[in-house]
Chain A
Amino acid sequence: MVPRVLNLVPRRRLFLLAAGLLLAGAALLRFIPVERRPFHADEAVQAYQTWQLLRGEGYTYDPADKHGPFLYYAAAGIARVSGWTPASLDESRLRLVTLLAGLGTLALLAGLSARLGAGPALIGTALLAAAPLAVIYDTYFVQEAWFSFFTWALFCALLRLREKPTLPAALLVGGLAGLMQATKETSVLHFAALGLALLATTPWRELARLWPRWLAALGTAVLVYVVFYSAFFTHWSGVVDGLRTYAGYAGRAAASAHTQPWDYYFQLLCPHTREGAHWGEPWLLLAALAGAGFAFFRPASPAHRCLAIFTGSLLGIYSLIPYKTPWLLLTPYAGLALLAGLGVVHAANLLPAKFRVVVAAGLCLGLLTGALVRERNAVGRYASDDRNPYLYQPTSPQFPRLVARLHELAAQAGRPLRVAVVSPDYAWPLPWYFRAEPSFGFFPVPPPQLSLYDVTLTDSRLPSLPPPGAQPFGLRPNVLLWLSRPATAP
């Protein structure tokens, strides 16, 4: 039962109207810049696999450095339902697939009003709706948006199971856990944080009493896992590979090129400057910290404590693992937003009743304004700039120039260009943009007879000097592709 003081918006119709407006605003914020960024290398790799699946080339799980299959099947399914063909797949359409998950997460947060209170839920939803991190990664065609959605859905389902331990509730918990695992293998980290939160806020005997329900949930999770990792019962070794992947993950988490300091996420949210551009969300951090503190005092409920412990432990786990990228913050960020909502409402409740709503609205407006200012920079001026702390190895905004130049050269030649792309990491996202061109070859080192290709694109990280007259095109921070043509080329 939610304490009355946390229900700043007690009327259900008003709450639904506010939640609906927030969702519509969030959709608009995410939809407008959807074409602004060229595909990130990771997005292109996911899109390529979706394209292959849609072309009927099937899917087999690869345990080396890859994630679960859910995103590809979801995108291919939505594509089939929407009538998209492999040729008509593009960035905007594929990003709509993850946008659905992002809006779903916002709806889940708003839906937590029954347990957290309408005030914290609405403010949390508003803060996540305007958060630059969420605006960016809700339209990033990688697994994170769906992963976050399933995690928060599982959070809600677990709270429900604890309150009403019915069989459908247990099956829902299992199904969502299975979908999390089918989306990203790192779900074990989220399971650990959720488990800790549940154990810390529920008497052990009460949880143990539910063992038949837990068994039903486990069975459902395993079933969902097998369905996806076996590529719908066509590739059985994928079921074993899905477990084998953890050996690689353990090594990758310990030592990788993506290693960051333990306080990386804290630094990201603290005020800082990157080559003159100002960033940081200190007020959100402070409000969330206050909310986490209030969660352990009256009139907070076990659901508030569960939220605080889950968010804190998930942030702790991600901070302890050396492998860090900004998008991993997406799930705990939603928790921070809810905690900030809780902090705002509790802080307002310390005041006389007649000031509460006004103060809460003022604080919320201040936080929202800050978020929108950052959001404007993060998806506007610095949408593909590596000074944007929410991005990681972004594709250069000038990359479309290269795509246009290659099309222009092909049009001049009047036939498909013979192109050799020489890059240690295959110059992603370039393979996505020329996925249907059979005369594009991708080499990690220069192939023999390089001069016979019409165009050569050479990665600036290779030791060889760029050929005379070669044109540079930006790929990623500090990585250029040198475009060169032999003298006889068209």
Chain B
Amino acid sequence: MKTFSFLFCLGLSAIALRADEALTPLKLDYPPPQLTGTPVPAKLKNLEAPNVKPPLIMVPAGVTNLAKGKPVTASDTAPVIGDVTLITDGDKSSDEGSFVELDRGLQWVQIDLGAPAELYAVALWHYHGQARAYLSVIVQVSNDPAFKTDVRTIFNNDDDNKSGFGAGRDPTYLEKNTGRLIPAGKAVARYVRLYSAGNTSNELNHYIEVEVYGRAKP
């Protein structure tokens, strides 16, 4: 018992001693920036090789790309580069003549599928010839061409709600030649609208291709 009491007191003393130790704030290192010369052009590193296959889309029989060749409208009615028909022409390369460039700020493109359909996925290719991420990417589906009613958002990475559709929780992503696949959750809709507000390289908005996978409303 005496031994136990002795050890107990010794333990308490040790704890007391540790408590008495002066605590100092951890000092972090903040080295100043070095003055550098003109930035060296950066080579592309984070783009996948062109032969990398796009992610697999698991869909039931009868699901096709309903957007192919369908009419497209846009908030920028007179794009300086390209035209909106390029968005559904089936060409996914980032070469000149394959993309449409919309003006600065929040812009949208809208695809009319012709009739309400059961949608499984939207695949989206912004400009992917450079390492960049497009900002405030929002994808909505609706049966209302004006997108005033019956609007369902299937993707939103506008985390600070710059576009006014509510803060999105989807991740910002780097553009790749494999595009971005967005599940549509069997939403039934005739129109698909895609927003963006510039990208990390410039203030403009680019679309190479949009595919909408679905089937006619059962």
Contacts and interface: CB of A to CB of B under 8 A. Distances in A.
Contact of A471 (B81, B99, B172): B172
B218 to A, nearest CB: 38
A325 B38 CA distance: 9
A441 B31 CA distance: 5
Nearest to B41: A393
Contacts of B28: 418, 439, 441, 449, 452-453
A385 B201 contact: yes
B146 to A, nearest CB: 28
A474 B42 CA distance: 13
Interface string A45-65: 100110000000000001001
Interface stretch (B7-15, B55-63, B128-136, B209-217): B128-136
A478 B131 contact: yes
Interface string B85-112: 0000000000011010100100000000
Contacts of A397: 198, 202-203
Residue among A62, A384, A473, A480 with the most chain B CB within 10 A? Answer: A480
B35 A477 contact: no
Interface string B24-67: 00101111111111111111111000000000000000000000
Given A258-B38, A472-B133, A476-B39, A447 B200 contact: no
B204 interface: yes
B102 to A, nearest CB: 11
Interface in A406-457: 418, 421, 425-428, 430-431, 438-444, 447, 449, 452-453
A447 B29 CA distance: 8
A477 B131 CA distance: 8
Contacts of A258: 38, 40
A378 to B, nearest CB: 13
A428 B40 contact: no
Query: Which bucket holds chain B's interface residue count?
Result: 35 or more
A484 to B, nearest CB: 12
B82 A41 contact: no
Contacts of A476: 39, 42
A186 interface: no
Interface in A58-87: 62, 65-66
A277 interface: yes
Interface string B121-133: 0000001011111
A438 B28 CA distance: 11
Given A396-B200, A478-B43, A442 B159 contact: no
A298 interface: no
A275 interface: yes
Interface string A380-402: 01101111000011001110010
A352 interface: no
B129 to A, nearest CB: 7
Interface residues of A, number: 58
A148 B203 CA distance: 31
B101 A276 contact: yes
A128 to B, nearest CB: 24
B201 A396 contact: yes
A472 B44 CA distance: 16
B42 A440 contact: no
Given A273-B96, A276-B96, A471-B159, A443 B200 contact: no
A276 B171 CA distance: 29
Contact of B31 (A418, A443, A473): A443
Contacts of B204: 381, 385
A426 B33 contact: yes
A387 B198 CA distance: 15
Nearest to B157: A471
A42 interface: yes
B172 A472 contact: yes
B82 to A, nearest CB: 6
Given A273-B96, A428-B36, A478-B130, A472 B31 contact: no
Interface in A343-399: 381-382, 384-387, 392-393, 396-398
A426 B42 contact: no
Nearest to B133: A472
Residue among A45, A325, A430 with the most chain B CB within 10 A? Answer: A45
A398 B200 contact: yes
A461 interface: yes
Contacts of A430: 33
B181 interface: no
A257 interface: yes
A275 B129 contact: yes
A325 B191 CA distance: 47
B205 interface: no
Given A438-B30, A471-B159, A473-B200, A393 B39 contact: yes
Contacts of A41: 36, 38-39
A320 to B, nearest CB: 20
4 cross-chain pairs, A with B, having the tightest CB-CB distances, nearest first: A474-B200, A276-B81, A431-B33, A441-B30
11 contacts: A45-B36, A49-B35, A65-B36, A276-B96, A441-B28, A442-B34, A460-B131, A472-B200, A473-B200, A476-B42, A478-B41
Given A393-B40, A449-B26, A477-B201, 7 more contacts: A42-B38, A45-B36, A275-B96, A275-B127, A385-B204, A442-B32, A471-B159
